[in-house]
């Protein structure tokens, strides 16, 4: 059975929040234990909770102290090289989503103009199009023509290669107007 995506928001019910915290803490500690074993790395987790009197420390106090000392002894440049604060993370995420939106808008516009082009092939007039639409249509048509020229060149090269080997060339059918 597939799980549905969990919405991340504050849990108002204290009992549910405490249960969720306990389960997630257990899962987090298990994951840290797994990654330290599988990758042979040093990792430490310190979890402060309003539900417990003292913080949960993993793996043990001496090992955590060793990891923290090693971290403190690093140069500032090395410490912050791959660290991301919440603001930076959110900024990066927003930029990534904006880029995705920009690409989707561009793709939608291209599909829209391609539909206009196909409509023209079926006899639709261009009189109701704005200047920007006509410019975009011109761009799409020119790009498609370049792609066709490249494909035609590849077919011609292939046929020339076949002729050089003495094999009969593949027949080239003329384009039929109105055929799709």
- Domains of the chain are 14-80 (3.40.1810.10), 88-165 (no CATH)
Residues 58-99 have pLDDT tens digits of: 888 888 889 889 888 888 888 778 777 888 889 999 999 999
Query: Could you tell me the pLDDT band of residue 16, with boundaries at 50, 70 and 90?
Result: very high
Label residue 110 exposed, middle or buried (CB < 10 Å: 0-12, 13-18, 19+): middle
Q: Does position 111 have pLDDT exceeding 70, yes or no?
A: yes
Q: Which pLDDT score, from 0 to 100, does residue 180 have? A: 46
Q: Which pLDDT score, from 0 to 100, does residue 74 have? A: 87
Q: Does position 101 have pLDDT exceeding 90, yes or no?
A: yes
- In angstroms, rounded to a whole number, what is the distance separating the alpha carbons of residues 2 and 29? 24
Q: Which pLDDT score, from 0 to 100, does residue 170 have? A: 59
Any idea of the CA torsion for 170, 171, 176, 180, to the nearest 10 degrees?
A: -30
Name the nearest CA neighbour of 29 among 68, 55, 2, 66: 55
Give the DSSP H or E segment for 131: helix 131-165
């Amino acid at each position: 059975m597939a799980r549905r995506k969990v919405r991340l928001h504050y849990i108002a019910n204290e009992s549910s929040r405490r249960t969720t915290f306990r389960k997630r803490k257990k899962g987090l500690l298990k994951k840290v234990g797994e990654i330290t074993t599988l990758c042979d790395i040093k990792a430490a987790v310190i979890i402060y909770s309003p539900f417990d009197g003292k913080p949960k420390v993993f793996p043990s106090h001496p090992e955590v102290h060793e990891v923290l000392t090693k971290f403190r002894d690093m140069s500032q440049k090395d410490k912050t090289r791959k660290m991301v604060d919440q603001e930076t993370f959110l900024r990066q995420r927003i930029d990534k989503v904006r880029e995705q939106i920009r690409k989707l808008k561009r793709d939608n516009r291209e599909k829209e103009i391609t539909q206009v082009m196909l409509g023209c092939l079926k006899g639709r007039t261009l009189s109701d199009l704005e200047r920007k639409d006509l410019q975009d249509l011109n761009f799409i048509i020119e790009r498609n023509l370049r792609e066709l020229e490249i494909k035609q060149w590849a077919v011609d090269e292939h046929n020339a290669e076949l002729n050089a080997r003495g094999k009969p060339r593949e027949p080239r059918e003329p384009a039929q107007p109105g055929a799709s």
